[in-house]
Amino acid sequence: MSPKILAPSVKEHHSMMFAKLVDCAEEILRGDGPAALTAGAVASRAGIARNSVYRYVESIDDLRLLVLERYIPGWQHRLDAALEVDAEPYEQLRTLVEITLDIGAEAGHQWLIDVVKAGLGRGKKDAAPSGTEIQARSDAVLNFHRELGRSIVGLWRKVTPDDAVVNAQMTRSILDAGLKLLDQGHSADEVKARTLALLDTLAGR
């Protein structure tokens, strides 16, 4: 039996259900964690049969990545814009750190890390096209984090050439701590101020 069409056309219905499934997946990931994201849980929340989930998405791995893809393009644009501003390298670094903390405050951090750790990009071993698409999505997510790391190292090389690697690693550790504090409900303004103060100390300012 074909599913009931809830929109003026099949195409619109597909788009509507696709968005609804991604919404439901995000709710589950945020509230219950990656282990709770199953076809049955998504179907139940969306109000459709379990097998109907696969009419709209390739796999549960795909759903995890689709949730992350809602955020990555916007985040990347903000970070790229910060690096394109005509400013001293250290000011760019501070802006990069501020934006990263802003993103964490807006979207949450730990649930996203949990999703990444859940094994993104495994795909279906017996379905090459699906696996290829999922891997491409996974690469886009992971590349965002790699580029952030490279940008931090690159800016420190301009600010403190002799201590760039150490300062970059310390910066990532400070950022991780700040993001965890935000997840715990601490004031974004306070976390940002203390993080930037530690950054100033690393730079000798």
pLDDT by residue (tens digit) across 38-68?
999 999 999 999 999 998 888 888 888 888 8
Report yes or no: 182 and 109 within 8 Å, Cβ to Cβ. yes
Confidence of residue 1 (pLDDT cuts 50, 70, 90): very low
Q: Rounded to whole angstroms, how far apart are CA atoms 20 and 47?
A: 10
Q: Tell me the per-residue pLDDT of 148-174, one tens digit each, with 9 for 90 and over.
A: 889 999 999 999 999 999 999 999 999
Size of the chain in residues: 205
What is the predicted pLDDT for the residue at 86? 86
- Region 175-191 average pLDDT: 91
Q: How far apart are CA 119 and CA 108, in angstroms?
A: 19
Distance between CA atoms of residues 35 and 37, nearest Å: 6
Of 114, 86, 99, the residue nearest 29 (C-alpha) = 114
The helix (run of H) or strand (run of E) holding residue 69 is: helix 60-69
Report whether 93 contacts 154 (CB < 8 A): no
